[in-house]
């Protein structure tokens, strides 16, 4: 028997491996939760199908075919659903049950825990795309912009996920779990109906100019510019960056781990 065969070798795994393991666990938890699946996938699919049907029957007046205008907005809604609502609710109840506190004391550093959550959100966004894009194509969607549009949309998704994740963590880290549940769902519904995420800002008349500063409208504008016009919407992306930076700064100061 060679020397040192049974010698313990304590030590934490590399940070990248820890973050990857945490992201995989967070992803499994999200996909196993029926309420989160409802918010992340079912509601966006229903919004897309219902909006296209209403558009075809004359219930919604849009500048272009309903499926082409609504699909980018529904993809933006899917980002908001997961990065904000699902993240806020899940993190809020993890704080209530003491899970966040225990993970914060583990070898996984606290910033690694947050990176793991963000990684899980990006994985869920991929799943949402795998579901929503075929549904949109089956409804007759013809995305514009080519490769440039796809890259611009991916950029918008990344920046939008960062903005909404910071806002979701801010809510979850400062409110009680029950209050987070109520507030996250309320904000989600308000932004869904009046936040210019699914419908273009022009649909809201004079209020559209004011709505431009909302992260929901900025993400919707960026996605529509990418997948309809094939261009990078610089101003909406800068608005999302501002929300992400402001949200992250607020989280770093006020997030309570228990």
For residue 127, count other CB atoms closer than 10 A to its CB: 17
Taking only the tens of pLDDT, the chain with its 258 residues reads 555 566 666 656 666 777 777 777 777 777 777 677 777 888 889 989 988 888 777 666 677 788 888 999 999 999 999 899 888 888 888 777 676 666 666 666 667 777 777 888 888 888 889 999 999 999 999 888 788 999 999 999 999 999 999 999 999 888 888 898 999 999 999 999 888 899 888 888 888 889 999 999 999 999 999 999 889 999 999 999 999 999 999 988 887 766
Do 128 and 207 form a contact (C-beta atoms < 8 A)? no
Q: How far apart are CA 223 and CA 232, in angstroms?
A: 9
Q: Would you state the pLDDT for residue 54?
A: 80
Angle between helices 177-194 and 87-96 (to 10 degrees): 170
Do 160 and 222 form a contact (C-beta atoms < 8 A)? yes
Q: How far apart are CA 116 and CA 21, in angstroms?
A: 8
SS3 state at 64:
coil
Of 190, 180, 178, 187, the closest CA to residue 255 belongs to 180
């Amino acid at each position: 028997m060679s020397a040192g065969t049974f010698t313990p070798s304590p030590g934490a795994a590399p940070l990248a491996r820890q973050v990857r393991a945490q992201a995989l666990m967070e992803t499994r938890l999200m996909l196993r939760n029926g309420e989160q699946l409802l918010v992340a996938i079912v509601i966006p699919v229903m919004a897309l199908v219902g909006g296209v049907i209403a558009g075809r029957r004359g219930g919604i007046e849009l500048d272009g075919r309903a499926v082409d205008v609504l699909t980018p907005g529904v993809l933006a809604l899917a980002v908001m659903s997961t990065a904000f609502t699902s993240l806020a609710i899940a993190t809020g109840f993890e704080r209530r049950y003491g899970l966040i506190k225990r993970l914060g004391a583990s070898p996984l550093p606290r910033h690694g825990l947050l990176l793991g959550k963000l990684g899980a959100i990006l994985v869920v966004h991929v799943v949402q795309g795998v579901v929503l894009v075929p549904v949109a194509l089956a409804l007759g969607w013809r995305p514009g912009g080519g490769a440039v549009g796809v890259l611009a949309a991916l950029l918008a998704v990344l920046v939008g996920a960062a903005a909404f994740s910071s806002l979701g963590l801010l809510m979850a880290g400062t409110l009680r779990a029950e209050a987070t549940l109520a507030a996250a769902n309320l904000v989600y519904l308000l932004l869904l109906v009046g936040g210019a995420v699914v419908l273009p800002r022009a649909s809201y008349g004079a209020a559209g100019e004011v709505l431009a500063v909302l992260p929901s409208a900025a993400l919707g504008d960026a996605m529509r510019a990418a997948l309809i016009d094939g261009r990078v919407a610089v101003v909406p992306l800068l608005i999302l960056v501002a929300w992400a930076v402001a949200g992250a700064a607020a989280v770093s100061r006020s997030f309570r781990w228990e």
